[in-house]
């Protein structure tokens, strides 16, 4: 079964979009829970979020480059 490059680029864009939405939802949940949870537990949650961000942030330039290349490929394939 062969898949076209457009399908591949679409799937990559969908995965990146889902990860972006999950990140935003995690931030919203953290903001909603901050007044409710004890300060010690919130400190642990914030430390975990900062650790995750610290792991992902060095790769952010590469992720954006892949997104830009994916968008360019999508435009080229869409014109054919």
Using DSSP's 3-state secondary structure scheme, residue 37 falls into coil
- pLDDT beneath 70, residues of the chain: 1-3, 5-6, 79-80
- What CA–CA distances, in Å, run from 31 to 27, 28, 42? 6, 5, 10
> Do residues 4 and 77 lie in contact, with contact meaning Cβ atoms separated by under 8 Å?
yes
- The pLDDT value recorded for residue 3 is 60
| Distance, CA of 22 to chain centre | 7
Domain ranges of the chain: 8-79
Rounded distance, CA 24 to CA 36, Å? 19
- The pLDDT value recorded for residue 6 is 67
Q: Kindly report, residue by residue over 17-37, the tens digit of the pLDDT.
A: 887 888 788 888 878 888 888
């Amino acid at each position: 079964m062969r898949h076209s490059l457009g399908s591949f680029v679409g799937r990559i864009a969908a995965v990146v979009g889902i990860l972006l939405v999950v990140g935003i939802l995690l931030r919203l949940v953290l903001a909603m829970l901050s007044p409710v949870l004890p300060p010690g537990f919130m400190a642990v949650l914030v430390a975990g979020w900062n650790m995750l961000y610290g792991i992902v942030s060095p790769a952010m330039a590469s992720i954006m480059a892949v997104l830009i290349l994916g968008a360019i490929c999508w435009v080229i394939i869409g014109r054919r």
